[in-house]
Structure 1
C-alpha cells in the first residue's frame, strides 16, 4: 500500500505541484506584496504574541525563565503546529463539493485534493517554523542539533492530517452539515490542546483527555525538538508514526470506496 502510494504521488506529481502553487499564489492575488505576505503575516503575529504575553502579561512558560519573549516563541511554535492540522481539516469537508467540475466532467484524480491542501498548508507552516527557528536562535536559548529531526517529527502529523482529510472530504459530499461541525470542533480543539499553556498545569483528573488527544503529542514533540533540544522517545514516535500511517491508509480506502457516488450527489 505504501509503495502504491509513492507510485501514485510520482504519477500525479505535476498536477499536485501545479495546484499547490496555484493555491498558494491565489491567496494573495491582486495584492501589492503578493507571496511576501506569507512571511509578513506570521511575523506580525509573532510580534503581537511577544507584546501581549511578554510585555503586558509578563508571562513565563517556566518559573525559572527570565525571558519575556520565550513565552511568545513557545506559543507560536505550538500554534504553527496546530494550524497545519487545522487549516487542512477546516477545508476538507468542502474540497470535493467546491470542485464539482473535476468530479463530473473531467477524468481527474480527486484524491489529490487532500494532498494539495496538505501541501499548501505545509508551505505556510514551513515559513512559520523558519521564523520560530530564527527567533529561538536570536532571542531564545539557541538551537540544538535536534532541530534536524523536525521533518521526521512532522511526518506523523502530515500523514494523520491527510488521512482525516480523505475521510472528511468524502463525508462532506453526502453530509453537508459536517463542515459546520468541524468548524466548531477545530476551534474547541485549539483550546483543549496545550498550545497556550503547558501540559504541566493541567489537573491530574483531566490529563487522560490530553493523553487521548493526538494534537497534544504533535505539539509537544515539535516543541521538544525546536525549543527544548529534546528528542521524543523511540517508542512514542513509532506509535505515532504507525498510527498515522494506519489512519492515512484507512482514509484513502474509505475515500476510494465512496468516490463512485460523488457525481450522483453533486
Structure 2
C-alpha cells in the first residue's frame, strides 16, 4: 500500500516532469515543425491551407456528390446550408485528426530516437508529448479556419464557445496518456506500427465524424456512446453550433476518466521504460 508521500509523488511526477522539461519540449516541437515544412514554398502557411482544402473537399464530396444530410434535417440546398453542413463535418474531423496524429506517431517515436535511450541521459517521457503538441497546433490552425467560415454561415458565436478550452484540456490529457502507453508498447511489439493505420481508419467510421448519432439504430447507439471520442465530438459540436452544454456530472466524469488515463499512461511508461535499452 502506498504511503501518503508516495501517493503524492505519484500524482505530481508527470506534471513535474512536463514542467521541468518544458523548454526542451518546446524546442523539440519547433524542430519537428521546421523539419516538416522545411524547403516548402509556403512553409507554415500549409498548416492553414491544408485544413482549408480539407474543408472544401469534404464539402464537395458529402454535399454535392453524396447529397448527404445531417440527422433528420433535409438535405442542404442553399449555399449557407451547405456551408453549415460542411462545418458540422469539419468539427468532427479536426477532433479526430488530433487523435490520428497521436496514433500515427506515438508507437514508433521511441524507436526513431533509439540513440536517446542508449547513449544520452534524456527525459524520454517528453518524446511522446511532442506529436500531441504538434497536433494541438494543427487543431488550432484548423479552428481558425472554422472561425473564419463561421462568419459566412448561420452559426453564431456565443458564450458557449468560452467552454471549448474546458473540453480540450481533458482531451489533451487523454491523448498524452494514450501516447505514453502506445510508445512504450511499441518498443516491445513492433507489429503495432502495422496495426495502428487499420485501427485509425476503423475508429474514424466508428466515431460520429461524418454522421449524427441519431441516424444509427437504437440498438447500436450505446456502443457508439461507449467510444470516448463520441462525447468529445458531440460536445464540441453542441458548444460551437447548437449552443448546448452537457450537465455538470458529465463534465466531472470526463475529467475523472481523462486524469485516470493520464496517470495510467505515465505509470505504464515508467514501468516499461526500464527495459527499453535491453530491447533496443
TM-score computed with the length of structure 2 as normaliser = 0.91
> Which residue of structure 1 lines up, in the alignment, with residue 84 of structure 2?
70
Mapped partners of 1:4, 1:113: distance in 2: 16
Of residues 81, 84, 96 in structure 1, which corresponds to 2:95? Answer: 81
> Aligned-residue CA RMSD in angstroms?
1.5
State yes or no: 1:96 paired with 2:110: yes
Moved more, 181-190 or 128-137: 128-137
Mapped partners of 2:279, 2:154: distance in 1: 53
Moved more, 58-67 or 129-138: 58-67
> Which residue of structure 1 lines up, in the alignment, with residue 161 of structure 2?
147
Cα offset, 1:53, TM superposition: 2.5
Mapped partners of 2:46, 2:274: distance in 1: 39
**Is the Cα–Cα contact under 8 Å of residues 143 and 229 in structure 1 kept in the other structure?**
no
What does residue range 160-175 of structure 1 map to in structure 2 within 5 Å? 160-175=174-189
Mapped partners of 1:250, 1:33: distance in 2: 40
State yes or no: 1:257 paired with 2:267: no
What does residue range 1-266 of structure 1 map to in structure 2 within 5 Å? 1-61=10-70, 62-63=72-73, 67-266=81-280
**Is the Cα–Cα contact under 8 Å of residues 14 and 266 in structure 2 kept in the other structure?**
no
Aligned residues: 266
Mapped partners of 1:113, 1:222: distance in 2: 28
TM-score computed with the length of structure 1 as normaliser = 0.95
**Is the Cα–Cα contact under 8 Å of residues 187 and 276 in structure 2 kept in the other structure?**
yes
Q: Which has the larger radius of gyration?
A: 2
**Is the Cα–Cα contact under 8 Å of residues 163 and 247 in structure 1 kept in the other structure?**
yes
Mapped partners of 1:111, 1:209: distance in 2: 33
Cα offset, 1:265, TM superposition: 0.7
Deviations 1:174-199 (A, max 9, x none): 11001212221111010111110000
Gapped regions of structure 1 (runs ≥ 5): none
Cα offset, 1:233, TM superposition: 1.7
Mapped partners of 1:58, 1:177: distance in 2: 39
Cα offset, 1:212, TM superposition: 1.2
SS of the aligned residue for 2:111 comes to: coil
Moved more, 18-27 or 135-144: 135-144
Gapped regions of structure 2 (runs ≥ 5): 1-9
Moved more, 164-173 or 56-65: 56-65
> Which residue of structure 1 lines up, in the alignment, with residue 4 of structure 2?
none
**CA gap 1:131/1:140 in 2 versus in 1, 3 angstroms:** farther
SS of the aligned residue for 2:82 comes to: coil
Moved more, 44-53 or 110-119: 44-53
Cα offset, 1:2, TM superposition: 4.5
**Is the Cα–Cα contact under 8 Å of residues 163 and 252 in structure 1 kept in the other structure?**
yes
**Is the Cα–Cα contact under 8 Å of residues 60 and 70 in structure 1 kept in the other structure?**
no
